[in-house]
Structure 1
Amino acid sequence: MKRFLFLSLLLFTSYTYSQQVKLSGKLIDQKDDPIPYANVVLENTNYGTTTNQDGEFEVKARPGTYILVVSSLGYGRFSQKVVLDKTSNDLGTIILTNQTQSLNEVAINSHHINRFSDKRTDYVARMPLENLENPQVYSVISKELMQEQVVTDIGQTVRNATGVVPIIYPSGGLATTFRGFNVGINARNGMETTSGRSGIDIANVERIEILKGPSGTLFGGNVSSFGGVVNLVTKKPMEARKNEISYTTGSYNLNRITADINNPLNKEKTVLFRLNTALNKEKSFLDYGFYDAYLIAPSFLFKASDRLTFTLDTELLNVNSTRNLYNRYAPESGITSPEDLKLDYNKALFHNDADAQTASTKIFAEAKYQLAENWTSSTLFSFVGEDVDHSYQYYATWLSPTVAQRESGNWNSIYNNYTNLQENINGEFSTGNIKHKVLIGASYRSFQSRSEASRTGTIDTIDVSTDFHALRKEDIDPHLVSNYWPGWNAVNSYTLSGYATDVIDWTDRLSTMLSLRIDHFDREAKAGAEGFQQTALSPKLGLVYQVVKDHVSVFGNYMNGFQNQAPRTQPDGSQFVLDPVYAEQSEGGIKAEVFDKKLSATASFYHIAINNAIRTNTDGFAAQDGEQVSKGIDVEVIANPFPGLNIISGYAYNDNRIIKSSDESIEGNKAVDSPENVANFWASYTFQNKLKGLGFGVGGNHVGQSYMFSDNVFSIPAYTVYNASLFYNQPSWRIGLKINNLTDEKYWTFWGVRQVPANFAANLTFRF
């Protein structure tokens, strides 16, 4: 009996001390401002972390008694005995006094900060998982990196993510392509959004998260593509009073003013308010063209109790601009690249008054309730509305390198409304020695739209090697034919979904992720559009083993994505009911966070297959047996080799090919918009001593050749663009200068859109 009791006690003790518990808190100074990048360590252990931008920290450790040491350069040192004896231990707010003090006794120095490597997120897996615990590859672009690069638009920003290339639609919206597939900016705080016609302003963006691979399991087919998901995380209210006003000027009459005002509204700091605004005016590098926009984005946070918090986040964006020219090429033109065109690189074919006026309204609300110690309920609502008053879009069909036919369209009276409701239950529990992190969720999505389109035929034919005038609104309007596509895009649809995830920690090193989603899609019948219903099932499986605990992990995943398809009318009048198109990804790789997180790296190989793609036979009948395979590697390295130097770099190789098609001549060809090689690099150095705060950065992007059409005749040339910046950052102000496209490279993105030559942007920011 004594032996049994002894063994039981031994097993209980072993079990208790094999579990990790959380220690959390927030670090502020005497002015109630958060202290970011401070060191938080448990003395004489390997447990430690740094605070985030809001001064918050979370350390995971085994139960026991420790000495907590908190420190930051320029502040005092705080130490306290802590006893960790439950799942969650919250220390509340810790105040550091502002004083200069040697930190030699601290295990980690505050200037050893890998500023661009923070991948903590609740959105990628819809649960709190560390990067090393997550079997999915993702990149994060922080607002600190955006500020350092003096970026003013999201297209410049997403180039910092491995393998990602921006796409500008003729409709004015922005999307990205990676892993061989296009995806719009479709997620905002984990909920559906859109930017197809209204665009995005980055003034209210805290960070951008780019999830790699088909992500239908958690996000559904409406948000994700077979390449992945782009999620914007907006700025949230903070307890500290913190305000910032910024002005940016630069080439092509760039004038941009932004303000970030954050203030608690009561003494108890239970009601918080933040307002982000932006006013942007700029001309095109073409002789005609402009982009004017203003953004108003207020947000509120209300702490109703210790367990219940409400958040309301809104955005109102109004844009008046001109569109990009969409080029088409006659088969007999002999043109195989935009380089062949004899059009002056800075010459526009259409005038300023053939413009576009759009607006978007975005509302996000969340009620977060602590059900129990390890269980949380999140009820979310989002509404996104895009409204287009008018939108002139431009087309040129090239008959030869010098001769083009001009035509235009005007999309007007458009609205696209997306309404989403979502409920997520997150929890943790154990079955014996096995730990579970679970997510159970359900969502409802309503999409309602209306649009009208007018289109011209050929307006004129011009020789661009001679003098010609840019077409004005008065030249276009007489040629417009109203109701060009009856019922185009005037459809309503509804989606009801349920999903669940269980992350099982078999040991403190080995875990699996099991996920499943079911979607029921219902599209109404409406003039010119067939109604249909579809149900899609999307599984996900992930496996992670930490070879070196908390430092190096190997992972593998199987992921699924899907896209709902409307029935097709066959040539004999019959209806061909299509299944959702599925993409399946298999991926394996390694993640590392080593040398006190001064080096963070991810490398993976993936294989994405579409086995039921839709193709059309030569007799006009549709079949659903096309095949496409996209495979490649992603490598990302984020490093802080020595104090002051920060590096972010990535390389992506992608081979995306059409395996089977009704047109046998294109089998084996590259898929469109799929460059084989994409690389990004950015390195910055900030002086640490006498010139503290002064810094500079250099970097660039390379995008390989891609094809505009599946016959692989017309190619978009490869390009490499270099950039550099100089900045001086102080607690109450910052000045920055960025030079883009140092070598004045002439280059084109997908759809043959000309890009900006050498240009600069200068920024001055005040904080108070």
Structure 2
Amino acid sequence: MNYHNQKTLRFLFSISFLFSFLSIFAQQNNGKIKGTITTSDGDAAAGVNIILKNTKYGTVSNDDGTFDFNRVRANSYTLQISLTGYETLETQVTVTENETTSLNLQLKVSNKELQEVVVSGKKSIASKKTDYVARMPLKNLENPQVYNVIHKELLLEQVSIDVKSAVQNSPGSVPVTYPSGGVGVTFRGFTTGINARNGMEMSTNRSSTDLANVERIEVLKGPSGTLFGSTISSFGGVVNLVTKKPFETTATEVSYTAGSFNLNRFTADVNTPLNKDKTVLFRVNAAVNREKSFLDYGFNNTVAFTPSLTFKASEKLTFNIDAEYISSNNTRRTYHRYDAASGITNPGDLKIGYRKSLFYDDNDAKTSANKVFAQAEYQISDNWKSTTLFSFMGENVERSYQTYTLWLTPYEAARRVGNWGPIYDNYTNIQQNFNGQFKTGSIKHKLLLGANYSFNKSGFSSGITRYLDTIDVRTPYNPMRRKTVDATLTQTAYPVTTSKTFSVYASDVINFTDRLSAMLSLRVDNYKLDTDESTEGYDQTALSPKLGLVYQVVQDQVSVFGNYMNGFQNSPPTTQPDATRLILDPVYAAQYEFGVKVEAFNKKLSTTLSYYNIKIDNAVQYDNEGFAYQNGEQVSKGFDFELIANPINGFNIIAGYAFNDNTIPATGKKAVGAPENVANFWTTYTLQNTIKGLGAGFGINYVGKSYMFDDNVFYIPSYTTANATVFYDQPTWRIGLKFNNLSNEKYWDFYGNSQAPTNFLVNLTLKF
């Protein structure tokens, strides 16, 4: 075991001893009430007012209908439950010391009343309920990790049709489109792909993803290797897509969106029980997307089909199976480079038209992805649950023409093109989790025990031309055609590679009191890479701990927290200039963070403020003779702020700001693609009485200056975009109009590509 792991183990043992010592003094003399409220048709009742009569206790049910009261004195009480349009319910409840009283309650409502309270069942955009972030049911105020949740209701307000526009609602998050076609997100100074789906591994490295089947997007901040491994997470965090699940009523929703640049998008969402007992539930989402680029050449055509099935085999055993097929034919964005003697410092120096392309759109890409996910959930007892998961994803690239320019002067560019494909990447994942709750004396534990096995196999073929010509953009020129590229392009097939990862992990959330809790987590990860030829593979084992401490200053309203989180990346051996081979250790990142979370005024206000420091050691760097060495450091530090508020009915505010200082200590240079300042703001108001359902919204996104290369000479300028929407939302239909980039701001992504000017979207949604 290397020195890094030895230090980590000693630190873990010290912390464990400290927590055990603290537990001796923890006391709990009160009881607890928890319950679930449903409507007469069996749906979860959200936003229900619940009070213990003649006491100070009162709360509101969560999105899944659950509620709880902590630290209630032993006694008999009357529990009162009320929601507009439903009959008020009162029931007697007895609280016993050190015990939890559980209730299952149902509201009575007529069909007429149901129509009147449809809007009451809408999910709050401030809700942070998730079972994926900690891989266990853990409230936001109990969780020492910072995370953001972007709900589909918000995306509907904003007429968001892609992941890029959606993730900008997470503080500090900047969308990235790779020249290879994949989509990623930059936050806390690092870029991560959209690599998780319902907590399981997936990939969008070279294929598309679609929002049609997305219930919400979860953005986990900080290195998350302990619970998610190295392939899903980056040192900045994890982006997890949570998909729509079947439910027990029949419902259909169809939507059509049209807009600038010949956009035409159709989506459908159909849900139905398949039997009278509602033990077999089926749902299917589909999307067809057609659009042109705002450039003079370019397009994006995508088709997605995502069926899902839930089978309730018994009261204890439930199966969930879903699949996804997505196919796309589109053009990639160009990867721009700049000659050191060009005098160019940023893309605004170029003399090319903002909406001009140097390549014809027959240099296109055709990709597809097939995904299958299965889950078996078995309730072993009241306090223990087993979850078995399986996933398979096949990402296939038939062809992917990628375009490159080298700018010699602000008006002269050399052009070349590569084709990456055929390529296939198959990802198979099997995971077993056990979740349980138990006590040691007066101390409560929420325990996760898990194991994960993944098997990946990939085949790769590519080729790239020399620079084929040099053009002067001040004079007439022709966009480069594919036939010109194919005439000189030679493809090379590379060895098939396979990798296997076996991991075991555990996480224990220890509640010393109702206010003080700690999280102790550890992962052991073994990674093996093999090839089918003589190229040597490698075998690495990594140890990844996670520690957290939470204290609720005001119970269920304000908590302060601190965490130590670890991430890692496996490093292949490298061949030195003298032909010797250097065996590398995994690269580690460690984060220390502390902050405060607030959920107040019956959860009408949710805010998080935190400071973090991420240090990377074992980074691989190279000296001026090309020799690799592994003692490089990188430090990323800053703070995140998020505010979500619903001060009055119909009025919503979302705001975020992130500061990040990501530097290489040895050189003092800034890391590439890491803007220091990122801010987001969005607000909407919907009329509640006159013309009920009519609303409007406005938002701003700001991204600060960032560097494109290590020398910190060439930079991407800062930019601010403003967006606005008006909509009319009714129980059975909705129409919305959205304007993006109102000021017609000229701005560029991290690869130097110009972004869309002012444009509009109009959406019509029908609900049956």
- Name the CA distance, whole Å, in 2 between partners of 1:195 and 1:83: 52
**Aligned counterpart for 1:500 among listed residues 492, 506, 525:** 506
Partner in structure 2 of residue 91 of structure 1 = 104
Q: Residues 60 and 122 (structure 1 numbering): CA distance in 2 closer, same or farther, change over 3 Å?
A: farther
Q: Does 1:633 align with 2:639?
A: yes
More displaced, 183-192 or 83-92?
83-92
Partner in structure 1 of residue 352 of structure 2 = 343
- Deviation readout 1:630-686 (Å, 9 max, x if unpaired): 0000010111122221101100000000012xxxxxx00100010000000001111
Partner in structure 1 of residue 276 of structure 2 = 267
Q: Residues 84 and 529 (structure 1 numbering): CA distance in 2 closer, same or farther, change over 3 Å?
A: farther
**TM-score between both structures, scaled by the size of structure 2:** 0.93
Q: How does 1:429-508 map to 2 (within 5 A)?
A: 429-483=438-492, 487=494, 490-508=496-514
Counterpart code for 1:735: I
Q: How does 1:654-665 map to 2 (within 5 A)?
A: 654-660=660-666
SS of the aligned residue for 1:744 comes to coil
**1:491 CA drift (Å):** 1.6
Partner in structure 2 of residue 161 of structure 1 = 170
Partner in structure 2 of residue 20 of structure 1 = 32
Partner in structure 2 of residue 5 of structure 1 = none
SS of the aligned residue for 1:623 comes to strand
User: Are the equivalent residues in 2 in contact too, given 1:23–1:60 (CA < 8 A)?
Assistant: no
Q: Residues 189 and 100 (structure 1 numbering): CA distance in 2 closer, same or farther, change over 3 Å?
A: closer
Q: How does 1:147-186 map to 2 (within 5 A)?
A: 147-186=156-195
Counterpart code for 1:729: D
Q: Does 1:363 align with 2:372?
A: yes
**Aligned counterpart for 1:555 among listed residues 561, 570, 577:** 561
Q: Residues 383 and 42 (structure 1 numbering): CA distance in 2 closer, same or farther, change over 3 Å?
A: farther
**1:34 CA drift (Å):** 6.0
**Aligned counterpart for 2:402 among listed residues 365, 389, 393:** 393
- Deviation readout 1:163-216 (Å, 9 max, x if unpaired): 000000011110011000110001110000110111110000000000000000
User: Are the equivalent residues in 1 in contact too, given 2:35–2:104 (CA < 8 A)?
Assistant: yes
SS of the aligned residue for 2:386 comes to strand
**Aligned counterpart for 1:306 among listed residues 303, 312, 315:** 315
User: Are the equivalent residues in 1 in contact too, given 2:37–2:44 (CA < 8 A)?
Assistant: no
SS of the aligned residue for 1:339 comes to helix
Q: Does 1:645 align with 2:642?
A: no
SS of the aligned residue for 1:640 comes to strand
SS of the aligned residue for 2:517 comes to strand
**1:445 CA drift (Å):** 0.6
Alignment size in residue pairs = 737
Partner in structure 2 of residue 11 of structure 1 = none
Q: Residues 239 and 113 (structure 1 numbering): CA distance in 2 closer, same or farther, change over 3 Å?
A: closer
Partner in structure 2 of residue 602 of structure 1 = 608
- Name the CA distance, whole Å, in 2 between partners of 1:569 and 1:512: 44
User: Are the equivalent residues in 2 in contact too, given 1:487–1:526 (CA < 8 A)?
Assistant: no
Partner in structure 2 of residue 106 of structure 1 = none
- Deviation readout 1:707-734 (Å, 9 max, x if unpaired): 0001100000000000011111111111
**1:88 CA drift (Å):** 6.8
Partner in structure 2 of residue 10 of structure 1 = none
Q: Residues 765 and 528 (structure 1 numbering): CA distance in 2 closer, same or farther, change over 3 Å?
A: farther
SS of the aligned residue for 1:218 comes to helix
Q: Residues 602 and 264 (structure 1 numbering): CA distance in 2 closer, same or farther, change over 3 Å?
A: same
User: Are the equivalent residues in 1 in contact too, given 2:226–2:523 (CA < 8 A)?
Assistant: yes
Partner in structure 1 of residue 303 of structure 2 = 294
**1:500 CA drift (Å):** 0.2
SS of the aligned residue for 2:227 comes to helix
User: Are the equivalent residues in 2 in contact too, given 1:632–1:652 (CA < 8 A)?
Assistant: yes
Q: Does 1:706 align with 2:711?
A: no
**TM-score between both structures, scaled by the size of structure 1:** 0.93
Counterpart code for 2:720: T
**1:571 CA drift (Å):** 2.1
SS of the aligned residue for 1:491 comes to strand
- Name the CA distance, whole Å, in 1 between partners of 2:534 and 2:761: 48
**Aligned counterpart for 1:542 among listed residues 535, 548, 553:** 548
User: Are the equivalent residues in 1 in contact too, given 2:51–2:80 (CA < 8 A)?
Assistant: yes
Q: Residues 527 and 47 (structure 1 numbering): CA distance in 2 closer, same or farther, change over 3 Å?
A: farther
**Aligned counterpart for 2:61 among listed residues 50, 66, 70:** 50
**1:18 CA drift (Å):** 2.4
Partner in structure 2 of residue 224 of structure 1 = 233
Identity of aligned residues (%): 55
User: Are the equivalent residues in 2 in contact too, given 1:40–1:51 (CA < 8 A)?
Assistant: no
- Name the CA distance, whole Å, in 2 between partners of 1:760 and 1:114: 27
- Name the CA distance, whole Å, in 2 between partners of 1:625 and 1:613: 6
Partner in structure 2 of residue 517 of structure 1 = 523
- Name the CA distance, whole Å, in 1 between partners of 2:103 and 2:318: 17
- Name the CA distance, whole Å, in 2 between partners of 1:112 and 1:684: 19
SS of the aligned residue for 2:485 comes to helix
User: Are the equivalent residues in 1 in contact too, given 2:49–2:58 (CA < 8 A)?
Assistant: no
- Name the CA distance, whole Å, in 1 between partners of 2:123 and 2:551: 24
Partner in structure 2 of residue 256 of structure 1 = 265
Counterpart code for 1:235: K
- Name the CA distance, whole Å, in 1 between partners of 2:499 and 2:90: 57
**1:69 CA drift (Å):** 3.7
User: Are the equivalent residues in 1 in contact too, given 2:247–2:273 (CA < 8 A)?
Assistant: yes
**1:460 CA drift (Å):** 1.5
User: Are the equivalent residues in 2 in contact too, given 1:114–1:640 (CA < 8 A)?
Assistant: no
- Name the CA distance, whole Å, in 2 between partners of 1:100 and 1:268: 24
- Name the CA distance, whole Å, in 2 between partners of 1:546 and 1:256: 46
SS of the aligned residue for 2:505 comes to strand
Partner in structure 2 of residue 7 of structure 1 = none
Structure 1 unmatched ranges of 5 or more: 1-13, 104-108, 661-666
RMSD: 2.2
**1:246 CA drift (Å):** 0.6
**1:455 CA drift (Å):** 1.1
**1:496 CA drift (Å):** 0.2
SS of the aligned residue for 1:487 comes to strand
Counterpart code for 1:734: R
SS of the aligned residue for 1:156 comes to helix
- Name the CA distance, whole Å, in 2 between partners of 1:657 and 1:682: 31
**1:609 CA drift (Å):** 0.4
SS of the aligned residue for 2:332 comes to coil
User: Are the equivalent residues in 2 in contact too, given 1:27–1:56 (CA < 8 A)?
Assistant: no
Partner in structure 2 of residue 569 of structure 1 = 575
**1:97 CA drift (Å):** 2.5
- Name the CA distance, whole Å, in 1 between partners of 2:694 and 2:45: 20
Partner in structure 2 of residue 737 of structure 1 = 737
Structure 2 unmatched ranges of 5 or more: 1-25
Partner in structure 1 of residue 337 of structure 2 = 328
User: Are the equivalent residues in 2 in contact too, given 1:151–1:157 (CA < 8 A)?
Assistant: yes
User: Are the equivalent residues in 1 in contact too, given 2:47–2:121 (CA < 8 A)?
Assistant: no
- Name the CA distance, whole Å, in 2 between partners of 1:41 and 1:322: 57
Partner in structure 1 of residue 17 of structure 2 = none
Counterpart code for 1:26: T
**1:692 CA drift (Å):** 1.3
- Deviation readout 1:289-337 (Å, 9 max, x if unpaired): 1111111000000000000000001110010111101101111111110
- Name the CA distance, whole Å, in 1 between partners of 2:310 and 2:150: 24
Partner in structure 1 of residue 761 of structure 2 = 761
Q: How does 1:22-37 map to 2 (within 5 A)?
A: 22-28=34-40, 36-37=46-47
User: Are the equivalent residues in 2 in contact too, given 1:487–1:529 (CA < 8 A)?
Assistant: no
Q: How does 1:90-239 map to 2 (within 5 A)?
A: 90-91=103-104, 93-98=106-111, 115-239=124-248
- Name the CA distance, whole Å, in 1 between partners of 2:634 and 2:176: 22
- Name the CA distance, whole Å, in 2 between partners of 1:618 and 1:258: 54
Counterpart code for 2:657: Y
Q: How does 1:692-703 map to 2 (within 5 A)?
A: 692-703=692-703
